[in-house]
Chains A and B, each alone.
Chain A
Amino acid sequence: MTDTHADYQLSQLDQLEAESIHIFREVAAEFEKPVLMFSGGKDSIVMLRLAEKAFYPAKIPFPVLQVDTGYDFPEVLACRDSWVNRLGVRLVVASVEEAIKSGIVVDDGKTSRNRLQIGTLLNAIEEEGFTAAFGGGRRDEEKARAKERVYSHRDDFGQWDPKNQRPELWSLYNGRLHEGEHMRIFPLSNWTELDIWHYIDREQIEIPSIYFSHQRRVFQRDGMLLSESEFNPLRSGESVEERTVRFRTVGDLTLTGCVESDAANTAEIIDEIAIAKVTERGATRGDDRFSEAAMEDRKKEGYF
């Protein structure tokens, strides 16, 4: 048995963990067909870890859904497979490539893969009949997310209506749905980027190697450092050079920039983030930069 808590105090990280576990169990109990949306990024891995804890020693009672953009980092896919195998959960892959082929989404050459994920994801949710989809979104990420509920209702078009959200009180979550609707569930709502890293550090959680400092061939575009890749043809004036970098977020590799960094382990990353001057999305996500309300628009359409 572990030590007795003489003062009956839980650290804030333990409080966040307890809240998230409560959410996982509530959803598993009340929804017919939940699924965990897995990007391979650190937030979705922390979600998997919390789900593992919520149901241990039973297996996680729902599958994991990944939207494969076709432009995913190989290191991320390797990490995903390692997690899925260890936990013995079912992995559902929804491929953007396949969705384009079957005409579910249209690749006009201008729309980013990130945006094409929306149609692909909604189609997968509808096809499989998922009624609740866990997402790794945090409220500290972005202004529109700051107002999103833990249980975020989506209509039968998969859309979010920010002005018509259900009030969410205490820890009493309302999971009522009509036919065709689904719920997005955000168990990490109250976690900050720093909390995620402290938790990864504390729990020694396996995350993709690209989060740590490494040598990479990169080029500059729109003020971001992007990875050299066959999916990312150079434009005129751009040139590749080798730098010591790491990624703060992982996503579509044509849009996800890295930062120069020597942080080689979680402790060093925590030090780095604690003095960071730019938000992780602002620093490295081309997809949020298009307009001030970019995230809000994508969320309304059914983005994660």
Chain B
Amino acid sequence: MTPPETTATDGEVEHQHAIKESADLLRFATAGSVDDGKSTLIGRLLLDSKAIFEDQLESVESTSKSRGYDYTDLALLTDGLRSEREQGITIDVAYRYFATPNRKFIIADTPGHVQYTRNMVTGASTADLGLVLVDARQGLTEQSRRHAVILSLLRVPHLVLAVNKMDLVDFSEDVYNRIHKEFTSFATKLSIPDLEIIPISALLGDNVVTRSEKMPWYSGPTLMHHLEHVHVASDRDLVDVRFPVQYVIRPKSDEFHDYRGYGGQVAGGVLKPGDEVVVLPSGMTSKIAKIDLFDKEIGEAFPPMSVTVHLEDDVDVSRGDMIARVNNAPKPSQDIDAMVCWMTNEPLRPRQKLAIKHTTRTGRAMVKDVQYRLDVNSLHRDQETKELGLNEIGRVQLRTTMPLLCDPYSKNRTTGSFILIDEATGVTVGAGMINSGT
């Protein structure tokens, strides 16, 4: 019954400061409501990693006191906008930062209620890991299932289910096992490559940074240990070369008279000088002459590097084009089948015309069909409706004015995603994840 891991590495985090540059970066999204203790957990992670400063803590303490609380409400640290502080809810995505000697962390802290699904989708879009909280007394709720479904739809590769408030169920192994079993069976219906279920008490700190002495039956990692060590490097696609051309660099100066480089951020694969490449949509082929990173030539470029690529031939390349390999290139597609999360009050309907932004291409799209609406609580597909309302997710067919150089979202989160923009208001109204293009 002894924990197999030593607690030394976990405990040390508390006493070290990130003096050295953190080697690595992990972006994670949290979802949950105040009741789940999410803000308390984030407050604890920030506090225990010394990311909270005295003046921030003092401000929170004095606000708590002035409201007559007899405890320090750590939720006040993350609820940044005045209206949120007044209402005691989180209505928008807040980004939080902390670092340990091993890693820097960016938390996208998102609200949990169904009416804020779009905020959660936003937070999850850039996350390597999703953290879902459940209250041990309540077990899985509709809300926690919905959070897992959204994280899975957004292809967040790592999921942590934190079973919180274990102190209120006497640190019971049975309670944990029951939730564990229920969640793993639910997760089989989803796409979750990596799942960790950790029993914690955010309030008391058990298994957050320091291993709990109250739960000797749990042999897995603490939350912080898991966040510090979960392997995210291999989540990137290093096989399929995808380089959306963002900006053509032409100095037109005497010194760099013939310089013509293509600036962009590598979205997939490894590019090397000498590689035979194809430029889409034109289909022209050439070879990579060299790759620049600022004033240095480099031997390889891989995601997510921002580099400047030079081609051997003087082919016509401009913003919106994509450089790929001759035998491994996305097919230019104008008929797009995608899952869309709708983000505005006026519903999405067939025949509607919108602006679409995909990688560095912007064009127009028309909604051909709403195939079904996905109930994110039950996974039921409602085929009766032909509309998507605010915060609803559904399968949609689009026809675009220009071909998208796209991949399925399940293969590449950069070349598989797009946003929809209302042309009249200029507002982002939809987020799309491509199933396929033809």
Contact = CB atoms under 8 A, between A and B. Distances in A.
Interface string B287-311: 0000011111111101011101000
B97 A18 contact: no
Contact of B299 (A4, A172, A189): A4
Given A22-B306, A167-B119, A194-B99, A147 B23 contact: no
A276 B18 CA distance: 12
Contact of B427 (A59, A166, A270): A166
A167 B53 contact: no
A17 B25 CA distance: 13
Nearest to B298: A2
A7 B232 CA distance: 12
B93 interface: yes
Contacts of A169: 121-122, 125-126, 417, 419, 428, 431
Interface stretch (B138-146, B175-183, B246-254, B378-386): B246-254
B305 A144 contact: no
Given A194-B99, A270-B19, A279-B55, A17 B92 contact: no
Interface stretch (A48-56, A210-218, A244-252): A48-56
Contact of A147 (B25, B80, B421): B80
Contact of B19 (A15, A17, A145, A271): A271
A192 B99 contact: yes
B304 A10 contact: yes
Given A163-B83, A270-B19, A1 B25 contact: no
Interface stretch (A107-115, A173-181, A234-242): A173-181
A55 B294 CA distance: 8
B147 interface: no
A254 to B, nearest CB: 21
B91 A172 contact: no
A102 interface: no
B19 A274 contact: yes
A296 B84 CA distance: 12
Nearest to A153: B426
A292 B59 contact: yes
A293 interface: yes
B207 interface: no
A42 B271 CA distance: 34
Interface string A133-176: 00000011011111100000000000000110111111110101
Interface stretch (A25-33, A68-76, A79-87, A121-129): A25-33
B259 interface: yes
B96 interface: yes
A132 B274 CA distance: 38
Query: What 9 A-B pairs have minimum CB-CB distances, sorted nearest first?
Result: A176-B426, A143-B80, A282-B55, A12-B25, A21-B306, A58-B251, A25-B247, A169-B125, A18-B306
